[in-house]
């Protein structure tokens, strides 16, 4: 059962969601838009190339820092499985399985 | 002096590099150097099928988002609308974590911008390929870009397949699973207990660990990543909100600019 108001659309909520959607769309197309108008130096290219990994690490670091041994161990399992198998589904499942197991026994 | 003078050197570097983008004058210009870029149904199909297993994994994350959204007070329809129009997992999860009554509109919009600015950089990284497609095709494809399918597309483009529609195909797979799983999570939200007891709260971290493993390029990656890590951890403790993500990214980029010199 979905409960009361599952299909409700509050005008304010819809407005906020659409504003978020607009901002998101601008960030998604903005990089290419700028790139088409900019002369990209080799130096800028080098900086751009490290950004994806750096951003992933910047999200992950504080996230794991607030966790405990269960999260750290599970992160290690994801790393190992991903490195060995290069399968995202497999590494996700083993990571989630490990975190549940570790939280139960630690 | 045996050194060639400045002018000659300039001509040299200018003439030696054939710019594939400038070759559009000759229609049959793609025979040897750079691959032709296509945009067709087979590219969409290839992207869709390649992304399916990943999209399935992302679905677990969508269920978590739906549950969190429902707990924050959004209806199933509102959560689904957000997933359908944003397709931006991290920003959506953080937005519903900020979501209270009354809604902190400014904080949510700024957080969305701060978290999603990375997409501009990711989109720019796809520029060498997407830039050769028409604006409608390239910008349209970018709208369905998220972290996971960006990584897949980067890998595909770098392999030289020239399938310009690959991003759109992966994006369609992501969108379908993301929206569907959001609805499932939001509808089940009331019935399923604490996500932590199923480890669902860990899916986000797991996705990013997997992503980091894929983005690792060997020792050259180590310094920028350590800089990003240190900056982000310190900034997360000192700066309110989500700015630590961009600060970490920009610190790494700045270090790379400096290192590029030497």
Are residues A35 and A53 part of one domain? no
Q: Is residue A3 part of a domain?
A: no
Q: Tell whether B74 is within 8 A of chain A (Cβ).
A: yes
- A73, part of any domain: yes
Predicted pLDDT at B250 = 85
pLDDT of residue B1: 42
* Claim to verify: residue A58 and residue A103 sit in the same structural domain: yes
Please tell me whether residues A32 and A63 are part of one structural domain.
Answer: no
Question: In whole angstroms, what is the distance from residue A21 CA to residue A38 CA?
Answer: 26
Is some CB atom of chain B closer than 8 A to the CB atom of A73?
Answer: no
| Ranges of each domain in chain B | 36-215, 218-262
Q: Do residue A103 and residue A62 come from a single domain?
A: yes
- Residue A7: phi and psi, rounded to 5, are -100, 5
| Least-confidence region, from A54-58, A60-64, B65-69, B101-105 | A54-58
Residues of A in contact with B233 (CB under 8 A): 61-62, 65
A55 shares its domain with A101: yes
- Please give the DSSP secondary-structure letter assigned to residue B72: T
| One domain for residues A65 and A18 | no
For A52, the token pair is 């994806």
Q: Could you say which of B60, B77, B124 has the minimum Cβ distance to residue A9?
A: B77
> Is the confidence at residue B235, as pLDDT, over 70?
yes
DSSP for A13-65 reads: HHHHHHHHHHHHHHHHHHHHHHHTTS---HHHHHHHHHHHHHHHHHHHHHHHH
Per-residue pLDDT of B2-60, as tens digits, reads 444 433 333 333 333 344 444 333 333 343 346 789 999 999 999 999 999 888 878 87
Same domain, A36 and A54: no
Residue A6 in domain:
no
Cα torsion angle, B176, B179, B185, B188, sign: negative
Rounded distance, CA B166 to CA B40, Å? 9
Most confident by average pLDDT, A63-67, B177-181, B255-259: B177-181
Same domain for A67 and A25? no
Q: In a 3-state reduction of DSSP, which class is residue A2?
A: coil
Does residue A1 lie in a domain region? no
Q: Is B255 a residue whose pLDDT tops 70?
A: yes
A61, B257: Cβ pair inside 8 Å? no
Q: Are B178 and B85 in contact (CB under 8 A)?
A: no
**pLDDT (tens digit per residue) in B114-131:** 788 889 888 988 888 999
Which residue from A minimizes the CA distance to B235? A62
Confidence of residue B145 (pLDDT cuts 50, 70, 90): very high
Within this chain, do residues A72 and A98 fall inside the same structural domain, yes or no?
yes
Mean residue pLDDT across chain B: 82
Cβ partners under 8 Å of residue B262, min gap 6? none
Interface residue A80 vs chain B (CB under 8 A): no
Question: How confident is the model over A21-47, as pLDDT tens digits?
Answer: 999 999 999 999 998 888 777 887 787
Q: What is the pLDDT of residues B167-219, one digit of tens each?
A: 999 999 999 999 999 999 999 876 666 666 677 678 778 877 887 887 788 88
> What is the C-alpha separation between B117 and A50, in angstroms, rounded?
15
Cα dist from B243 to A99, B36, B40, B69, B249, whole Å: 28, 40, 39, 22, 10
User: Hey, is B40 helix, strand or coil?
Assistant: coil
Inter-chain CB proximity A71 and B205 less than 8 Å: yes
Is residue B262 scored above 70 in pLDDT?
Answer: no
Locate tokens 């199909």: which residue? B45
What ipTM, to 2 d.p.? 0.77
Q: Between B258 and B192, where is the model more confident?
A: B258
Q: How large is the C-alpha radius of gyration of chain A?
A: 21
| Same domain, residue pair A24 and A62 | no
pLDDT in tens, B86-115: 999 888 988 987 898 899 899 899 888 878
Closest by Cβ to A2, choosing from B76, B119, B196 = B76
Q: Give chain A's mean pLDDT.
A: 88
Q: Which residues contact B200 (CB under 8 A, 6 or more apart)?
A: A96, B60, B63, B64, B67
Residue A52: predicted pLDDT: 73
Give the distance from residue A86's alpha carbon to the nearest chain B alpha carbon, in angstroms: 8
Our CA angle for B131, B154, B44, nearest 5°, is 75
Q: Are B185 and B63 in contact (CB under 8 A)?
A: yes
Helix pair angle (A42-65, B203-215), 10° resolution: 150
- The verdict on A46 touching B (C-beta cutoff 8 Å) is yes
Asked if residue A4 belongs to a domain, the reply is no
Residue B168: CB atoms within 10 A of its CB come to 25
Report yes or no: B98 and B92 within 8 Å, Cβ to Cβ.
no
B54 CB near a chain A CB, below 8 Å?
yes
Q: Max alpha carbon distance in chain B (Å)?
A: 83
A19 confidence band (pLDDT: 50, 70, 90): very high
Residues A66 and A27 in one domain: no
| DSSP helix/strand/coil, B163 | strand
| Count of domains for chain A | 2
The range of the structural domain enclosing residue A55 comes to 49-106
Say if residue A54 is in the same domain as residue A105.
Answer: yes
pLDDT at A1: 44
Cβ–Cβ < 8 Å for B72, B186? no
Give the pLDDT of residue B64: 80
The answer to whether residue A2 sits within a structural domain is no
Residue A66 belongs to some domain of the structure? yes
Q: How many CB pairs under 8 A join A and B?
A: 285
């Amino acid at each position: 059962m979905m409960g009361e108001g599952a299909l409700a659309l509050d005008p304010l909520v819809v407005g906020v969601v659409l504003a978020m959607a607009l901002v998101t769309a601008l960030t998604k197309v903005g990089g290419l838009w700028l790139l088409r108008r900019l002369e990209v130096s080799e130096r800028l290219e080098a900086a751009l190339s490290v950004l994806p990994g750096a951003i992933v690490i910047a999200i992950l670091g504080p996230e794991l820092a607030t966790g405990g041994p269960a999260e750290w161990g599970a992160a290690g399992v994801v790393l190992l499985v991903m490195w060995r198998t290069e399968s995202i589904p497999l590494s996700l499942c083993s990571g989630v399985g490990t975190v549940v197991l570790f939280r139960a026994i630690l | 002096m045996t050194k060639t003078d400045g002018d000659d050197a300039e001509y040299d570097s200018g003439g030696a590099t054939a710019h594939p983008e400038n070759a559009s004058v000759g229609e049959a210009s793609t025979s040897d150097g750079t691959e032709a870029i296509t945009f067709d149904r087979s590219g969409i199909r290839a992207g869709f099928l390649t992304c399916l297993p990943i999209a399935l994994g992302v679905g677990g994350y969508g269920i978590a988002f739906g549950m969190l959204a429902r707990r924050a007070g959004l209806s199933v329809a509102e959560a689904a609308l957000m997933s359908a129009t944003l397709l931006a997992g991290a920003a959506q999860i953080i937005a519903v974590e900020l979501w209270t009554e009354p809604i902190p509109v400014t904080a949510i919009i700024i957080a969305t911008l701060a978290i999603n600015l990375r997409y501009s950089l990711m989109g720019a990284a796809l520029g060498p390929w997407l830039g050769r497609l028409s604006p409608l095709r390239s910008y349209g494809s970018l709208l369905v870009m998220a972290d996971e399918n960006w990584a897949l597309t980067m890998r595909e483009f770098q392999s030289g397949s020239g399938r310009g529609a690959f991003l759109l195909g992966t994006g369609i797979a992501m969108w379908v699973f993301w929206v569907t799983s959001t609805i499932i999570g939001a509808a089940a939200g009331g019935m399923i207990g604490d996500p932590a007891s199923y480890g669902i709260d860990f899916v986000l971290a797991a996705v990013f660990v997997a992503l980091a493993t894929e983005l690792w390029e060997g020792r050259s990656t180590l310094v920028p990543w350590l800089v990003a890590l240190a900056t982000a951890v310190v900034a997360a403790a000192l700066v309110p909100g989500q700015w630590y993500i961009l600060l970490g990214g920009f610190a790494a980029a700045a270090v790379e600019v400096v290192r590029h010199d030497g």
